[in-house]
Amino acid sequence: MSPGQSKPAQSKPALAEEAWRLLLGYFLANRDRSAGIAADLGLTLGEMKALLSLDPAGAKPMRALAEDWKCDASNVTWVVDRLEERGVAERRGLPEDRRIKTVAITPAGEKIKAELLKRIYEPGDEVLALSRDDLLALIDVMRKLAPSTMTSTTTTSTTGSQG
């Protein structure tokens, strides 16, 4: 049996648990890399996630951001305050209802977002070291795990509620 193969007697749930632990461990171990990229650009991980969710095509209501980010509206206010301080996002009112505040990415934010995407999509050495066959297998598995709507979450924002 080769090193990458599990014991044939392992149940499917046991194999799934092992796969999940390895996948989660890999991403947790690489969290520092993402934090370093964000810090290099003057952002925290939370601010990076927020900036990546903003779409140059249009502003998003604060309530929709709270839903997208799975947090309380007060947390959105705090993060947007930080993004505005850095000049990468701005609040706007909706012309039809000025009580609804929206958040838009600024031209400076678009530049930082482009740099973030460029750098976070650069594969680490351990990924570059995989064989072509291993990379194709990994891509195949990841496509099965990630619904098509998730494959581009950092390049385009999802449509949230508009109210």
What Cα–Cα distance (Å) separates residue 45 from each residue in 53, 75, 132, 135, 162? 12, 14, 31, 27, 25
CATH number of the domain at 12-146, please? 1.10.10.10
pLDDT-derived band at 153 (thresholds 50, 70, 90) equals very low
pLDDT at 147: 73
Contact (Cβ atoms closer than 8 angstroms) between residue 110 and residue 58? no
pTM over 0.85: no
Q: Is the pLDDT of residue 155 over 70?
A: no
pLDDT at 96: 85
Please state the domain extents for the chain: 12-146
Q: Is the pLDDT of residue 152 over 90?
A: no
Contact (Cβ atoms closer than 8 angstroms) between residue 30 and residue 95? no
- Supply the mean pLDDT for the chain: 86
